[in-house]
Structure 1
Amino acid sequence: MVTKKAWIIRKERYGKSGFKNPEERKKKISENTKKALANPEIKAKIIIDRKRRKEKYGYINSPETRKKISEIWKKKWANGEVTRKQRTHIRGKGINTQFKKGHKVPEKWRKAVRESRAKQIFPMRDSSIEIKIQGFLQQLGIEHYTHFYIKEIKHSYQCDILVPSMNLVVEVDGDWWHGNPIKFPSPNKMQMEQIEEDKIRTKELIEKGFKVLRLWEFEIKAMKLNDFKNILEVKTNGL
């Protein structure tokens, strides 16, 4: 730990940042952070910690911290320092309030966000297993749509793939994110929430007349074209 006196000396020697190569240090921190967030387990822990903080204090960041962050971002926007990637990320978050429990966002705002999100494509990049299934459908000459917004159900969302001719919704489920019971017999809180959400949406889709095919990541990785063709025939013929 750097003492106050040592920190003053560092600032006198290297300037306001207190580091010899501040830009290089920022870059290194950024790279290490990206590597850490690429790990699903670390990312999930961060999300869970944020939820716990919000439950305990009523907010993720204190009002003082939010004010500082707001001022920083206002300056960035004013100076044109916000990158295209940052703008896309900010706009894609929709309404995400950090206020205390009980805070209500006006319905007209919620409606506007729902309509806007229905037109957006999430995620920005398809996963490798999504691309593989899309490739199978193309090889079989089956018309399909990716990230199609299903508005007919209560918990409306963008499905992974919709095959209109079969009235079929194909969901490509990552083992970790969707809590595959074979791989993760003791799911964490976030996985349990996702499992429940998947069950609700599957039930609502079936009630609305859709067929639903959910495929696990580990199955897709080992899957060949004929395997997928057989699974598709069984699902569409109701066998």
Structure 2
Amino acid sequence: MQRTARRDNTFELMVRSQLHAQGLRYRIHHLIPGMKRTTCDFAFPRLKIAVFLDGCFWHGCEIHPPSVKKNTDFWLEKIAGNRARDARATAHLTDLGWMVLRFWEHEEVGTIVEKIAATVDAKRASFPTSPSLARTLKDK
């Protein structure tokens, strides 16, 4: 378990590289405002979009439940704690007006990239591009 990459694992890198190839820029391991030592895998802070790429074992996927043979109580408690933290982070970000996108590692990378890109495009379309434009839109 110690050898499992906590961040920048193969799954994350595949998703991020495809998004980058499409011209999307993001911040990796972005700190969640108001939550100490809690980050999302990557974010589009200006658009307030947080993306989490959850591993099936670590986050307790219902399709692929963790198969634990040793220290069962410890691992099940650890995974339950991860799920609780995930729920707190999602609720906190939602309360702050962020859009939270969560994906499982068993999902197709192409589908994940399409959903993220579509969400970013939709948010950009409704987001003023400059302060003067924002004032103009606000005055109308």
With the length of structure 2 as denominator, give the TM-score of the two structures: 0.68
More helix by share: 1
Q: Structure 1 regions of 5+ residues with no counterpart?
A: 1-35, 41-121
Q: How does 1:36-115 map to 2 (within 5 A)?
A: 37-38=2-3
Aligned equivalent of 2:63: 182
Kindly provide the amino acid, as one letter, of the partner of residue 45 in structure 2: P
Aligned equivalent of 1:223: 109
Cα 1:189–1:126 change in 2 (3 A) is: same
Q: 1:185 and 1:229 mapped to 2: Cα distance?
A: 26
CA contact (8 A) 1:136 1:228 kept: no
Describe the SS at the equivalent of 1:204: helix
| Residue from 85, 105, 117 that aligns with 1:197 | 85
Q: 1:163 and 1:195 mapped to 2: Cα distance?
A: 23
Deviations 1:195-234 (A, max 9, x none): 1110011000000011111110111xx322xx23431225
Q: CA deviation at 1:171?
A: 0.6
CA contact (8 A) 2:60 2:80 kept: yes
1:158 aligns with 2:39: yes
Aligned equivalent of 1:170: 51
Aligned equivalent of 1:134: 16
Deviations 1:162-217 (A, max 9, x none): 11343111111111011111111898221111111100110000000111111101
Identity %: 25
Give the superposed CA RMSD: 2.9
CA contact (8 A) 2:57 2:66 kept: no
Aligned length: 115
Q: Structure 2 regions of 5+ residues with no counterpart?
A: 68-74, 124-140
CA contact (8 A) 2:47 2:120 kept: no
Q: 2:120 and 2:90 mapped to 1: Cα distance?
A: 14
Aligned equivalent of 2:100: 212
Aligned equivalent of 2:31: 149
More strand by share: 2
Kindly provide the amino acid, as one letter, of the partner of residue 92 in structure 2: E
Bigger radius of gyration: 1
**Which fold has the larger relative contact order, with Cα–Cα distance below 8 Å and residues 6 or more apart in sequence?**
2
Describe the SS at the equivalent of 2:56: coil
With the length of structure 1 as denominator, give the TM-score of the two structures: 0.42
Q: CA deviation at 1:37?
A: 4.6
Q: 2:121 and 2:99 mapped to 1: Cα distance?
A: 7
Q: Which runs of 4+ in 1 moved over 6 A?
A: none
Q: 1:200 and 1:215 mapped to 2: Cα distance?
A: 16
Aligned equivalent of 1:103: none
CA contact (8 A) 1:163 1:169 kept: yes
